[in-house]
Amino acid sequence: MSEKHIDEFSGVETTGHEWDGIRELNNPMPRWWVWTFYATIVWALGYAIAYPAIPMITDATKGMLGYSSRAELQQNLDQAKASQTTLHDLIAAKTVHEIDSDSALRE
C-alpha cells in the first residue's frame, strides 16, 4: 500500500485505483481554489448569522442585523403611495372629461 504508482505518460502519481485499465491520477485541486471554497463557507455561515436565513416550522431565524425584506417592502410601498397621493386626489376631484382635457393627468 505504501508503494507509489507513477503514471508512465504524465509522470503524475496515481491513487492506485484502476478501472478497465484506466488509472486515476492524483491531481489535487489548486490551492487558490481550495481557499476560495473555504472562504465561501465562512461567508455563508456569516450570512446565515447576520440575516434571516433558516426557516423553522412557524417562523424563521431573525438574524443579528434585524433586516426584514417585508419591512423594506412596506417602507417602499408607503413612499410610493405618498408620492402618488396628490395625483390621486386630483383624479378623484375631477370628472372623466376634465381628466381627458388635462394633459398633465393624461401622462
pLDDT of amino acid 11: 85
Instruction: State the average pLDDT over residues 5-10.
Output: 83
Please state the pTM of the whole predicted model. Answer: 0.55
Is residue 102 predicted with pLDDT exceeding 70?
Answer: yes
Confidence of residue 1 (pLDDT cuts 50, 70, 90): low
Can you spell out the DSSP letters for 38-100? HHHHHHHHHHHHHS---B-SS-B---SS---HHHHHHHHHHHHHHHHHHHHHHHHHS-HHHHH
- Distance (Å, rounded) from C-alpha 76 to C-alpha 38? 37
- What are 26-82's pLDDT values in tens digits? 888 999 999 999 999 999 999 999 988 888 888 888 888 888 888 899 999 999 999
Instruction: State the average pLDDT over residues 86-96.
Output: 86
Task: Output phi, psi for 66, to 5 deg.
Answer: 70, 20
